[in-house]
Amino acid sequence: MEILLLIGICLLILALYWEFKDYQRLYKKPPVKDIKGAKEKLEELKFYACFNSENNITWRSFFINSFCVTIILAFLLNVFTDISSKKKKEFLIIAFATVFFVQYFSNNFKTFHLYRLMSAKVRSRPIL
């Protein structure tokens, strides 16, 4: 059970790191209105149009949110219940998985075709 917590904490650290690197990469890019050349401007617009679909950024925010919800649930279980330690661990694993997968799949269902369509309109090659 402790190995799952260790893996979860490692994934949380990596997700936060990747989020930070994405923001850092986006902040380094110049605004499109400041780019003079038409070809460079077009490449920058393609980058922004395809960023979400090519980087699959949603799992990280859902993982971070699910981890935070699980920590809050663990706190509430400790304060308000007398459930055994084993049952608390099982409940928290199920709660984490449920929150993560419900958020992830409902959002992906909603946005997958939208991002795919938007990216296909901008890119010169079709996205499969």
Amino acid making up residue 2: E
pLDDT surpasses 70 at 55: no
Is residue 14 situated within a structural domain?
yes
Confidence (pLDDT) at 103: 83
Confidence (pLDDT) at 32: 80
Those residues with Cβ within 8 angstroms of residue 120's Cβ, 6 or more apart along the chain or in another chain: 126, 127
Is residue 99 situated within a structural domain?
yes
Determine if the pTM surpasses 0.85: no
Quote the domain boundaries for residue 71. 2-122
Is residue 85 situated within a structural domain?
yes
Is residue 128 situated within a structural domain?
no
Mean pLDDT calculated for residue range 108-118: 70
What is the count of structural domains for the chain? Answer: 1
Question: 92 with 5: CB under 8 angstroms?
Answer: no
Is residue 127 situated within a structural domain?
no
